[in-house]
Amino acid sequence: MTVPSTPEEREKVVSKLPPSLRVELKVRAAQLRIDIQDAVAAGIHAWRQAEHPLPTVDTSGGSPFSTHLPAGVYGAFKEECGERGLSYAQGVAQAIRLWLDANTTTKQVRRTPRARRIQVANQKGGVGKTAISAGVAEALAEMGYRVLLVDYDPQGHLTRELGFQPVAHGEPSLAGYMLGEVRTGELSDLLVEVVPKYFGGRLFLLKGCKDAFLLDGKLVTSRHARVKEASLEKAMEPLESQFDFIIMDLPPNLGFAVDAALYYGRTRDDEEPGASGIVIPVQAEDSSADAYDMLAEQIDDLANDLGVDIAQLGFVVNLYDSRRGYVATSSLEGWRSFGKPRVLGVIPDLSEQRKARRVRRPLLEYEPTSDQAHEFRTIATELIVTEAAS
């Protein structure tokens, strides 16, 4: 345990940590919903109480790592490191290793008979649906969950940003399975693995397809689509037992294809409230609020027409920068005071996301120690515990 302290009673300290240890610390802190500075302080407390010598931690390739510790802890800890013949960086690394080993998360990965389905949606384009879909999915996979990312937008931005090419016109695709146009093979044959070396074979992508531009019209007229709202569920059902989460990046429109996606994210009869539902990306400006009103109306109309519950799991405020002044800060406060749905997280407007997109690599693999990556882990943790909190 750490001694309670206010921010004013903390002092900033800087050390060096190897990237792998820093990522592990950030992932574990997010999973356990613990502030990193409190985790480090708890680790130092455990280090000072532990029997020495402790195993040496490989700190080669370390880069600067800063945190805040309760006033007085830094000086006493650094002095003890010197008395034990250790560098301060080695002492910090040992303390963090102690905390990680004492705070395992085996029970955090809750397997379910079939996947929880999360739709990332907003009628407004450019709010960051693709980045948020990818970031949340990557964070969940990093935490040990089996995750399927579905590029449901005909523009295929998610597919391209992860380094793949969308399915060509006429090739087997999710749209084809929804419409009953694919006669051979299985939908699972279309899945591609995303950076298995980093995500450990737990993150897969169902690529976007250009044919999906025609999906709205075909859903209305196709005799194979049966009930148009159930077409996506019918196509996706064989994949549900293979994953813990299915994250879908929806297009910015209000058509029949989006109706099918919203229906797919409804709370099923045998599912606890909040297990599945809609995540709404917004920005701290007025037009996002207008677009959300349109989406909320569509969700309510669909739920009422079909007699189902479609949960709005929360907002993610994307590309936030307080330096934009009153409009940004007051808009953020407006989202936070909304009540329900709540704000799951705030993604800062930093360059890492843009750089990762430019080189077509997942953010959490490209810049795993960035503030944006850490915020995605926080959002993923909020979604994991949403079910229990509902």
Q: Express each pLDDT in 159-195 by its tens digit.
A: 999 999 999 988 999 999 998 888 889 999 999 999 9
Res. 96 pLDDT band, cuts 50 70 90: very high
Q: In this structure, is residue 2 part of a structural domain?
A: no
pLDDT, average across residues 110-114: 74
Statement to judge: residues 193 and 309 lie in one domain: yes
Predicted local distance difference test score (pLDDT) of residue 251: 93
One-character DSSP codes across 178-237? HTT---SS-GGGGEEE--HHHHTT-EEEE--BGGGGGHHHHHHH-STT-SGGGHHHHHHG
Residue 21 lies in a domain: yes
Q: Domains in the chain: how many in total?
A: 2
Indicate if 81 and 135 belong to the same structural domain: no
* pTM of structure: 0.87
In sequence order, the 6+-apart residues with CB closer than 8 A to the CB of 184 are 172
Q: Is the pLDDT of residue 8 over 70?
A: no
Last residue of a domain, one of 87, 106, 125: 106
Cis peptide before 238 (omega within 30 of 0): no
pLDDT tens track for 354-365: 999 999 999 999
Q: What percent of the chain has pLDDT over 70?
A: 93
Q: Note the pLDDT of residue 43.
A: 97
**Higher pLDDT pick, 72 / 313:** 313
Per-residue pLDDT tens over the stretch 206-246: 999 988 877 887 887 765 544 678 899 999 999 999 999 99
For 222, phi then psi, to 5°, come to -75, 130
Question: 155 and 240: one domain?
Answer: yes
Within a domain: residue 312? yes
Phi then psi for 298, rounded to 5 degrees?
A: -65, -40
* Segment 266-280 mean pLDDT: 94
CATH number for the domain harbouring residue 207: 3.40.50.300
Mean pLDDT computed over every residue of the chain: 89
Shared-domain flag, residues 358 and 294: yes
**Are 121 and 191 within one domain?**
yes
pLDDT of 228: 75
Tell me which of 106, 123, 141 is where a domain ends: 106
Q: Is residue 92 part of a domain?
A: yes
pLDDT, position 1: 35
Is there a domain that residue 245 lies in? Answer: yes
Claim to verify: residue 131 and residue 236 sit in the same structural domain: yes
- Determine the pLDDT at residue 225: 47
* pLDDT value at residue 390: 40
- 2 falls in which pLDDT band (50, 70, 90)? very low
128 plus 97 within the same structural domain: no
- Do 273 and 352 lie in one domain? The reply is yes
Closest among 116, 149, 122 to 250, alpha carbons compared: 122
Alpha carbon dihedral 92, 97, 103, 104, in 10-degree steps, equals 150
pLDDT value of position 103: 92
Last residue of a domain, one of 71, 106, 141: 106
The pLDDT tens digits of the residues spanning 324-359 come to: 888 888 989 999 998 889 999 999 998 999 999 999
Q: Tell me: do 290 and 335 sit in the same domain.
A: yes
pLDDT the model gives residue 113 = 77
On whether residue 348 sits in a domain, the answer given is: yes
The pair of structure tokens assigned to 160 is: 């391209």
**Parent domain of 94:** 7-106
- Do 142 and 287 lie in a common domain? yes
Distance CA 342, CA 323 (A): 24
Is the pLDDT reported for residue 6 higher than 70? no
β-strand 116-120 against 10-17: which pairing, if any? Answer: unpaired
Task: Read off the pLDDT of each residue in 87-103 and give the average, rounded to a whole number.
Answer: 96
| 238 part of a folded domain | yes
Per-residue model confidence (pLDDT) at position 227: 63
Q: Are residues 158 and 253 in the same domain?
A: yes
Q: What are phi and psi of 109, to 5 degrees?
A: -80, 100
Q: Is 1 inside a domain boundary?
A: no
Q: Which residues contact 305 (CB under 8 A, 6 or more apart)?
A: none
What are the tokens at 38?
Answer: 């409190």
pLDDT for res 243: 96
Tokens of 176: 């084809």
384 and 337 in a single domain? The answer is yes
Q: Strand pairing partners for 11?
A: 69
